[in-house]
């Protein structure tokens, strides 16, 4: 009886641990996928600028980036600093700063959206530059160098 209980408890712990590790791996993949999509949206905006295309299509890209950004900063649960991730420990030690950097990007996407709606390519170009700076500012503090 006692032994059975022990086995059950150990079994539950092992199963729980495995689920936990799996969930962390999933959330790391999810947030990396989120960033891949934000990068793709930025590339699409760059394409419009380079080709002097229709800035109205940038409105959609900006909205997509906003949606991605609002999900992104919630994808850093405790424990997800371990694994195949480039997120630096500063994300967790300075969560307020990390979230502020995300809000900053959010504001840049808003400006991009307004500029895009105006149809002014110069304004879109400037706002795109600012959005790029917002990416870089967060990476500088919270992401490990990629090379």
Residues in contact with ligand HEC by the rule CB under 6 A: 28, 31-32, 35-36, 38-39, 42, 73, 85-87, 91, 98, 101-102, 105, 131, 134-135, 138-139, 142-143
How many angstroms separate the CA atoms of 147 and 135, rounded?
Answer: 17
Judged by beta carbon, residue 44 or residue 118, the one nearer ligand HEC is: 44
Judged by beta carbon, residue 35 or residue 111, the one nearer ligand HEC is: 35
CB of 101 to ligand HEC, least distance (A): 4
Q: Residues near 11 by Cβ (< 8 Å), separated by ≥ 6? A: none
CB of 48 to ligand HEC, least distance (A): 15
CB of 23 to ligand HEC, least distance (A): 14
Cβ-based neighbour number of residue 4 at 10 Å: 8
Closest listed residue to residue 55, CA positions, set 135, 131, 134, 114: 114
Judged by beta carbon, residue 11 or residue 140, the one nearer ligand HEC is: 140
How many angstroms separate the CA atoms of 99 and 69, rounded?
Answer: 10
For 49, the token pair is 């600028």
CB of 7 to ligand HEC, least distance (A): 36
């Amino acid at each position: 009886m006692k032994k059975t209980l022990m086995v059950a408890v150990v079994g539950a712990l092992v199963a729980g641990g495995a689920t936990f590790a799996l969930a962390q791996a999933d959330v790391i993949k999810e947030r990396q996928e989120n960033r891949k999509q934000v990068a793709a949206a930025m590339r699409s905006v760059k394409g419009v600028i380079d080709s002097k295309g229709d800035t109205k299509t940038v409105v959609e890209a900006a909205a997509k980036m906003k949606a991605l950004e609002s999900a992104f900063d919630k994808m850093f649960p405790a424990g997800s600093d371990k694994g195949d991730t480039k997120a630096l420990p500063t994300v967790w030690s300075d969560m307020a700063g990390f979230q502020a950097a995300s809000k900053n990007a959010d504001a840049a996407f808003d400006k991009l959206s307004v500029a895009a709606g105006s149809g002014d390519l110069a304004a879109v170009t400037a706002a795109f530059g600012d959005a790029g700076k917002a990416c870089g500012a967060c990476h500088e503090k919270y992401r490990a160098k990629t090379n």
